[in-house]
Amino acid sequence: MSKTLIRGARVLGGEPQDVLIDGAVVAAVGTGLDAEGVDTVVEADGKVLLPGLVDLHTHLREPGREDSETVLTGTRAAAKGGYTQVFAMANTFPVADTAGVVEQVYRLGQEHGYCDVQPIGAVTVGLEGEKLAELGAMHESAAGVTVFSDDGKCVHDAVIMRRALEYVKAFGGVVAQHAQEPRLTEGAQMNEGVVSAELGLGGWPAVAEESIIARDVLLAEHVGSRVHICHLSTAGSVEIVRWAKSRGIDVTAEVTPHHLLLTDEMVRSYNPVYKVNPPLRTERDVMALREALADGTIDIVATDHAPHPHEDKDCEWAAAAMGMVGLETALSVVQETMVETGLLDWAGVADRMSAAPARIGRAKGHGRPVAVGEPANLTLVDTAYRGGVDPAGFASRSRNTPYEGRELPGRVTHTWLRGKATYSDGKLA
């Protein structure tokens, strides 16, 4: 059993402390801990120590689109970004709608060992929205699926959504809805508003998201289920979720880093690196999302890490794929938009990026406090760092980041998964 001593780390941003990892668990937290018998000493020098981050919304693309990402490259990117667990979305080829596919993804994660991979199962067969997938079989499989989502597509049929919400109650599951009314978003290319009107790009109206969220929180209330809303992007959605929570409806919601920082003004460049679903919204939406994440209306930050090969972005806007990579920049964007603005402290970041997503996903051993006896899933962050984003250095197979060349604060220097350093001092294990 190897021992690691992290010296002088600001646990959740507090006063510097030493943290001793013994094997897979945290063995001691205190000041002036003895280095005797320790294999590795990490001088934290005031860096911030967080519980390992948990991403409830990652696209690892394997099986099927290994040209853009694999479980290996995606989990390496995750480790680099400070994550110790990612939930892998179901829109692969074939779709993760059977026990076989989710078990394959789960096992690949285990074999590579950079990050725990918890597959998400599809709600409906082939993401077609018509017939429930074998949700129970996926739950009972080795992958132990608890989160189900047709992400990329909306479970638009109200009856199917109702049944799914009800059905997963039997085993404590949750449906994560990609809220997008399909008819209102036919041909949609960007947020509908002033900018889309000028650019002549098909509009993706806020109401297409908000109407589905409103419907689904009411359905969840009616059938007594919990529901999770993926990548909430509008001020109106925030209001609906706030209202639902005030009524006691069991709803949770996520926001992506890019929706906390970028607006549809970026689309004026027609650079498809800004093309994403849901689309970048307005400044007013961005501010509402930040505020909602701070006050807990939005529970978590999830990356919606969506790798695409270069050629799918090096083209005209309409022909480009939707999505952007996010695992390796998420924490920096959260530091910039939430911490440096004073909206959230590091304990708050630990909650929104680790504890809360683990709770929503019923993840075991993740999102735990940094305390004696807990699994040593930890992330050390140099919050004083500032630097330009260089996609060439990404561990992800894809480079479709909207932050190329942009200066962002903070960088992860170490990530430990059950005591083993998956990433340390700029090097992946």
Partner 1 sequence: MKRHLISAADLTRDDAVHILDTAEEMARVGDRTVKKLPALRGRTVCNLFFEDSTRTRISFEAAEKRLSADVINFAAKGSSVSKGESLKDTAQTLAAMGVDAVVIRHSASGAPYRLATSGWIDAPVINAGDGTHQHPTQALLDAFTMRRRLIGPDAGLGQDLTGKHVTIVGDVLHSRVARSNVDLLHTLGAHVTLVAPPTLLPVGVETWPCEVSYDLDSALPKADAVMMLRVQRERMNAAFFPTEREYSRRYGLDGDRMAKMPDHAIVMHPGPMVRGMEITAEVADSERCTVTEQVANGVFTRMAVLYLLLGGKTDGGTANGGTTHERTPGE
Considering 216, 299, 304, 312, which one is annotated as catalytic?
304
Q: Which of residues 201-230 bind partner 1 (CB under 8 A)?
A: 201, 203, 205
* Residue 153 CB partners (closer than 8 Å, separation 6+): 91, 127, 129, 178, 180, 182
Contacts 24+ apart (CB under 8 A), 337-345: 337/257, 337/260, 337/261, 337/290, 338/260, 338/290, 338/293, 338/294, 339/383, 340/409, 341/290, 343/290, 343/291, 343/293, 343/294, 344/293, 344/294, 345/12, 345/13
Asked if 309 interacts with partner 1 (CB under 8 A), we say: no
What is the SS3 assignment for 351-366? HHHHHHHHHHCCCCCC
Which tokens belong to 235?
Answer: 């001020």
Nearest CB to partner 1, comparing residues 58 and 189: 189
Give the tokens for residue 127: 């993401």
Q: Please, which residue, 73 or 282, has the CB nearer to partner 1? A: 282
- H-type helices in 282-420, by residue range? 283-295, 330-334, 346-350, 356-360
Q: How far is the CB of 202 from partner 1 (least distance, A)?
A: 8
> CB-wise, 222 or 310, nearer to partner 1?
310
Q: What minimum distance in Å lies between the beta carbon of 118 and partner 1? A: 37
191 beta partners: 204
Nearest to 64 by CA among 39, 15, 113, 101: 101
Which CB atom, from 130 or from 314, has the smaller least distance to partner 1?
314
Residue 193 near partner 1 by CB under 8 A = yes
Q: Is 192 in the site for partner 1 (CB under 8 A)?
A: yes
- Least distance (Å) between residue 268 CB and partner 1: 5
Smallest distance, partner 1 to C-beta of residue 272, A: 8
Closest CA to 309 of 379, 400, 218: 400
Q: Could you confirm whether 304 is annotated as catalytic?
A: yes
Q: 131, 222, 247, 268: which one contacts partner 1 (CB under 8 A)?
A: 268
- Where are the alpha helices (H) located in 224-329, listed in sequence order? 235-246, 257-261, 283-295
**CA distance linking residue 366 with residue 357, whole number of Å:** 9
Number of residues that bind partner 1 (CB under 8 A): 24
- Judged by CB under 8 A, the stretch of 66-74, 228-236, 240-248, 310-318 that binds partner 1 is 310-318
CB 341 within 8 A of CB 319: no
Please choose, out of 76-84, 100-108, 308-316, 357-365, the segment that lies near partner 1 by the rule CB under 8 A: 308-316
How does strand 3-11 pair with strand 16-22?
antiparallel
CB of 285 to partner 1, least distance (A): 15
Site string for partner 1, 161-190 (x = CB under 8 A): ----------------------------x-
- Is 283 among the residues that bind partner 1 (CB under 8 A)? no
Binding characters for partner 1, 311-330, by CB under 8 A (x = yes): x--xxxxxx-----------
Residue pair 199/173 in contact (Cβ under 8 Å)? The answer is no
Q: Does 195 bind partner 1 (CB under 8 A)?
A: yes
Among 196, 256, 332, 396, binds partner 1 (CB under 8 A): 196
Q: Is 294 one of the binding residues for partner 1 (CB under 8 A)?
A: no
Task: Point out which residues bind partner 1 (CB under 8 A).
Answer: 189, 192-201, 203, 205, 268-271, 311, 314-319
Give me the active site residues, please: 304
